Structure 1
């Protein structure tokens, strides 16, 4: 009888753990939908990276720019460096941004704006049950990038834009090179 009771207790104890499931927690290091990585180069010396000065990037239809740093005022929308990462729309096949060089400069003649439209296709890629899906982007075969200076009478400050990688599936490499 003692053996039967002990067996029933062990069996009941074992079954109490059988309903537990593995926690579905997405690791913070899991790759998610990648941003577009853009590097800036000197137009006159194409192998040399060149810093942009007070670059502000504003999405079409938006009033505020992309936040590039932890400042608490309008400085958070400005970046000065050789590389930026910006998101692409996950619900459309095109994203348009205004790239404003020397944004906030007291002399309006020194502020240059180019409007860039990135055209692409989207594909959902399953990551895991915990993380769900991510979207990868492929630049369109034609009209990958459409550039317009603002105003149209002013010359473009981005003199050449080159697609380095058509498939945007991670943020570990440069996708676009801009020469100015």
Structure 2
């Protein structure tokens, strides 16, 4: 009986990872009016797909109007790229016919120990964010961008402003 009591009290609270522990850091991107840079402006029928992926990022409702999105960065690499599609739609063959721009994000990864139950969290330090690398898009909808916070941690801070 005494042995059972010792075993029960030997469990530590940090063996469980609470959902609000902040282990996932997303790149927060806001969309703003190019004419009035302080005014949020929704992107109509927005779709975002990681370059080389077949599915959308899954952090917001696909093909919905958004003024802000959270993008998952690769924690095993130092770069992530995304196709951002304005006015996303499919033709009769299923091909995308919206206005597609490409966003390239280069960063450093940093591991931070949370607890035994949660393990490590990866945070990021942005090095460079560019739209349409190589300048190959003849009609971009992203007209400018600005990095407002280079440290990407589990928080609600906006990291990048995209103007359109």
Q: Shorter-normalised TM-score: what interval?
A: 0.7 to 0.9
Q: Deviations over 1:13-36 (max 9, x none)?
A: 333321333252111111112111
Which structure 2 residue ranges, 5 or more long, are not aligned? none
Q: Which whole-Å CA distance do the structure 2 matches of 1:151 and 1:120 have between them? A: 21
Match of 1:54 among 42, 45, 50: 45
Match of 1:138 among 93, 117, 125: 125
Q: Which whole-Å CA distance do the structure 1 matches of 2:36 and 2:24 have between them? A: 33
Q: Deviations over 1:104-143 (max 9, x none)?
A: 066x9x8211111100000100001111110000012xxx
**Which structure carries more helix by proportion?**
1
Partner residue in 1 for 2:30:
39
Q: Deviations over 1:21-59 (max 9, x none)?
A: 325211111111211111100001111110110111010
Runs of at least 4 residues off by over 3 Å = none
Deviation at 1:149, TM superposition (A): 7.2
Aligned residues: 157
Q: Which has the larger radius of gyration?
A: 1
Partner residue in 2 for 1:167:
151
TM superposition score normalised by structure 1: 0.79
Counting only pairs closer than 5 Å after superposition, residues 21-170 of structure 1 correspond to structure 2 as 21-22=10-11, 24-69=15-60, 76-104=61-89, 111-140=98-127, 144-148=128-132, 152-170=136-154
Q: Which whole-Å CA distance do the structure 1 matches of 2:72 and 2:83 have between them? A: 13
Cα gap change, 1:159 to 1:151, in 2 (>3 Å): closer
TM superposition score normalised by structure 2: 0.87
Cα RMSD, aligned residues only:
2.2
Question: Per the alignment, in what secondary structure is the counterpart of residue 47 of structure 2?
Answer: strand
Which structure 1 residue ranges, 5 or more long, are not aligned? 1-12, 70-75
Tell me, yes or no, if the aligned pair for 1:137 and 1:169 is still in contact at 8 Å.
yes
Deviation at 1:146, TM superposition (A): 2.5
Question: Per the alignment, in what secondary structure is the counterpart of residue 67 of structure 1?
Answer: coil
